[in-house]
Amino acid sequence: MIDFLIVGQGIAGTILSYILTDRGYRVMVIDKQTPHSSSRVAAGIYNPVTGRVMKKTWLADTLFHRLVPFYRKMEADLKVDFLNELPIYRPFISMEEQNDWVGKSAEGDFDSYVEKVAVEAMFPDDLNDHYGGLLLKNSGYLDIPLMLDAWRQKLTAAGSYRNEAFTEESMELTDEGISYKDIKAKKVIFCQGNGAVDSRYFGWLPFRPVKGEVLTVSAPSDAEVIYNRGVFMLPKGGGTFRVGATYNWRILDTEPTDEAREELLDRLKQLYSHPVTVENHIAGIRPATKDRKPFAGVHPEYKAVAVFNGLGTKGVSLAPHFGEQMADFLCSGTELSPEVNITRFYSLYFH
């Protein structure tokens, strides 16, 4: 018997299975690889100051001091480099916003994340940043597909990975935990992203899946900074950039659309002052949630059945902290944060 059967190997399943394995537990990960999973489409940016009004991301002071050490340790264990520390530059859209940030920078609350408050254009050759902007630190991006592939290879070598679709009908609850085909485990954790929407165990949770589309473009720039205002422009080397992303709650398929392409290019024109050439266009479905907080915890009735899902657009920054917290909960019974514990939605199940 193994300790944990983990369904799904996106960023949630990867980080949780890595933490549990690192602690000496026996895991089996089941995942049917697909190029359209949200983790493989996502740009993987981690950004401490977000939103139109540019405020600290939720739990920034908790999340960001442990993010880099966590991924650097994982890189060392897997002998692969997938964490890229890069500044993010956010142009101001008005003199009022510039003045507001000059005042905020004097207060000290943002010292860990703001490298510079520029009152003049920092990148006049590339951007429309007439009012200057905010240069952020403790930011960058994770090459998520590279990380997923490296961890899958290690799991496979250890006999702890199966490339197949998980079928709930083949799972049985037992006195010892669960049984799935020839696998017996003490607990099963569902980490399959948007796939959980149709789950008989967790389909009652208020998922709010959202389609996102991203372009790959070539552009005349050698920037080593992520530009981000209305759209992000992420340098991938050799004059290639990822550009995104869109949000569509109405049409939930993985087909790229002309409408999203034009929307991204129009927004990019407002930020970037040179023509670009579109090289690729992909779409995926993010496993977002009603209250934009992750889902973690055990099923209201079946204590051998758990969930760790719904990391949404901030998965790279959320996964290390809440992955550790979920592991503590599973292994030691430590309480989960109320903001992520699915007990907050138990009333939907018993309704």
Is the pTM higher than 0.75? The answer reads: yes
State the average pLDDT over residues 331-339.
97
In the predicted structure, residue 41 carries a pLDDT above the cut 90: no
Helix (H) / strand (E) element for 283: namely: strand 277-286
Backbone phi, psi, residue 2, to 5°:
-95, 170
Within its chain, how far is the Cα of 234 from the centroid?
15
How far is Cα 132 from Cα 226, in angstroms, rounded to an integer? 15
Neighbour-count burial of 124, counting CB atoms closer than 10 A to its CB (0-12 exposed, 13-18 middle, 19+ buried)? exposed
How far is Cα 41 from Cα 200, in angstroms, rounded to an integer? 26
Nearest to residue 93, comparing CAs of 270, 220, 234?
Answer: 270
How far is Cα 212 from Cα 248, in angstroms, rounded to an integer? 7
Query: What number of other Cβ atoms are within 10 A of residue 172's Cβ?
Result: 10
State the average pLDDT over residues 228-240.
95
Backbone region of residue 221 per phi and psi (left: phi > 0; alpha: psi in -120 to 50; beta: other values): beta
Most confident of 17-21, 222-226, 253-257: 17-21
How far is Cα 56 from Cα 24, in angstroms, rounded to an integer? 35
How do strand 178-180 and strand 83-85 relate by DSSP bridges? unpaired
pLDDT recorded at residue 133: 96
Cβ–Cβ under 8 Å, residues 82 and 149: no
How far is Cα 108 from Cα 153, in angstroms, rounded to an integer? 44
Mean pLDDT for all residues in the chain? 95
pLDDT recorded at residue 107: 83
Percentage of the chain surpassing pLDDT 70? 99
Least confident range from 5-9, 18-22, 193-197: namely 193-197
How do strand 140-142 and strand 83-85 relate by DSSP bridges? antiparallel
Q: Which three-class secondary structure state does DSSP give residue 268?
A: helix
Least confident range from 4-13, 35-44, 190-199, 270-279: namely 35-44
304: number of CA atoms within 13 Å, CB side?
A: 18
pLDDT band at residue 36 under the 50/70/90 scheme: low
Longest dimension (CA), the chain: 67
pLDDT band at residue 114 under the 50/70/90 scheme: very high
Packed helices 144-157 and 60-78: angle between N→C axes, nearest 10 degrees = 50
Q: 274-304, pLDDT tens digit by residue?
A: 999 999 999 999 889 999 999 999 999 999 9
In the predicted structure, residue 128 carries a pLDDT above the cut 70: yes
